[in-house]
Amino acid sequence: MPHPVNDTKETKLPFSPNALLSAVGNSLVSPLFNNVFFVKGIFKAGKGVNYNGYYYDLLKDEFSDASITLVIPVTLRHQLKDGQLIEASAFLNKRHQPAGARIELLLNVTELVSRKEKVIDEREKKALDLIQRKAQAGYKDLRGFIRNKLYAQEPVNITILIGLTAIIDNDIKHQLKDGTRVYHIEYVRINLSQMNEIINKIIEYDAGEILIISRGGGENIQLFNNIEIAETVLTLSSIFVTAIGHHDDEPLLQKVADKFFITPTSLGQFLYDTYISTTEEFSHSKGKMIDDLTKQFELNYQHKLGDLSTRLADTGRAYQELMRNTESQQRQLRHALAKAKRRNILLVLLLLIVFAFLILLWVAGRK
């Protein structure tokens, strides 16, 4: 005989994100929680803000990029300097971060045991060397490159490396507005948590124009302190730009970039502002060039007109001089003709007289 169907269903209330975070966080247990123990690491100063008698800084591992939030009382905080290697007694607790559904470990300092100036390790020496090499090589002019392209009316080709699931391309496009017609932007999605992929993509898309790594805010900022990635950047022919969305830290990759932006939004705003200012300058210079050419044409016209007037005046004076010479020559010719005519008449009269005289002598000889 079949069992009767129970239509009654057990009602379960859904968890809110905050309830889930609290439930999971409370399940995390460790003998280090609320028990004092010794810690050692490099002190990294935070924002320097006093939160009810405590400062939130970082304790960084001596030999890796690992770090943990350090909570220090005001009475101890003033004894510390950024970069010091410290030993302290502390206890561990945790706090919930509802905004990102994160559980953060906090190291609460109770006593400073020792502190000394930190010895710079090999990675820091390499990082410093890379920064110096970049400064000596010079920083490529991003704004000038874009301006020259726009003046030549050529497209500005930009490659932006972004995360696999990132939506920051929408933020950049939103800031660009109508500037998208002059920027030819290719968004390449890569895994921004993998060093080898970042290096390979940087090399692959080094086309000699503009190459950008961009991401929003978040954790794992230490990857951008990677020495190998920074060394690769120094070999690029492209203008290299970062917009990696982190206000508190200045990673090595940002220091060796030709230009950096705090957020992808500020990158988009820069591209738009450069487009607008260059367009306005181009329009102004184009109008000035037309005005200068017009003035030059007018000056040339006035010069040629003046030259023509001078030539016409010279021609008129030459014609008048020619007419005067012609009239003088005509007068001289008429005077010569009149003189020759009088001479011929006298000669004819003389001949007639001689002929008459000869006739008279002939007649007298016949008698």
pLDDT tens column, 111-150: 999 988 765 667 888 999 999 999 999 999 999 999 999 9
Percentage of the chain exceeding pLDDT 90:
41
Higher confidence at residue 216 or residue 198?
198
Q: Above 50 in pLDDT, residue 1?
A: no
* The pLDDT of residue 202 is above 80: yes
* Residues of the chain above pLDDT 70, percent: 87
Secondary structure, 3-state, the chain: CCCCCCCCCCCCCCCCHHHHHHHHHHHCCCCCECCCEEEEEEEECCCCCCECCEEEEEEECCCCCCEEEEEEEHHHHCCCCCCEEEEEEEEEEEEEEHHHCEEEEEEEEEEEEEEEECCCCHHHHHHHHHHHHHHHHCCCCHHHHHHHHHHCCCCEEEEEEEECCCCHHHHHHHHHHHHHHCEEEEEEEECCCCHHHHHHHHHHCCCCCEEEEECCCCCCHHHHHCHHHHHHHCCCCCEEEEECCCCCCCCHHHHCCCEEECCHHHHHHHHHHHHHHHHHHHHHHHHHHHHHHHHHHHHHHHHHHHHHHHHHHHHHHHHHHHHHHHHHHHHHHHHHHHHHHHHHHHHHHHHHHHHHHHHHHHHHHHC
Q: Are 70 and 92 in contact (CB under 8 A)?
A: no
pLDDT above 60 for 259:
yes
Confidence at residue 11, expressed as pLDDT on a 0 to 100 scale: 59
Ranges 140-149, 151-160, 301-310: which has the least confidence: 301-310
Q: Tell me the range of 18-22, 62-66, 105-109 where mean pLDDT is highest.
A: 105-109
Contact 151, 282 (CB under 8 A): yes
* pLDDT at position 352 over 90: no
**Any idea which of 159-163, 236-240, 342-346 has the lowest mean pLDDT?**
342-346
Phi first, then psi: give them for residue 97, nearest 5 degrees.
-115, 90
Termini Cα distance of the chain = 208
- The arrangement of secondary structure in 17-117, i.e. its CATH architecture, is Beta Barrel (2.40)
Higher-pLDDT residue of 354, 5: 354
pTM comes to 0.56
CATH 3.90.480.20 applies to domain 122-279: no
Mean pLDDT of 169-189: 91
pLDDT at 246: 61
Evaluate if residue 12 carries a pLDDT over 90: no
Band the pLDDT of 248: cuts 50, 70, 90: low
| Selected residue with higher pLDDT from 290 and 266 | 266
Rounded CA-CA distance 202/48 in Å is: 36
294 — pLDDT class (breaks 50, 70, 90): low
Mean pLDDT of the chain: 84
Which is more confidently placed, 289 or 85?
Answer: 85
Pairwise CA distance, residues 163 & 348, whole Å: 129
What is the mean predicted confidence (pLDDT) over 168-177? Answer: 91
59 within 8 A of 41, measured Cβ to Cβ: yes
Q: What is the pLDDT of residues 68-90, one digit of tens each?
A: 999 999 999 999 988 889 999 99
Q: How distant, in Å, are the alpha carbons of 188, 195, 249, 333 from that of 42?
A: 37, 24, 16, 122
pLDDT average, residue stretch 169-197: 91
| Helix 142-151 and helix 264-366, axial crossing angle in degrees, nearest 10 | 40
Instruction: Note the Cα 55 to chain centre separation in Å.
Output: 39
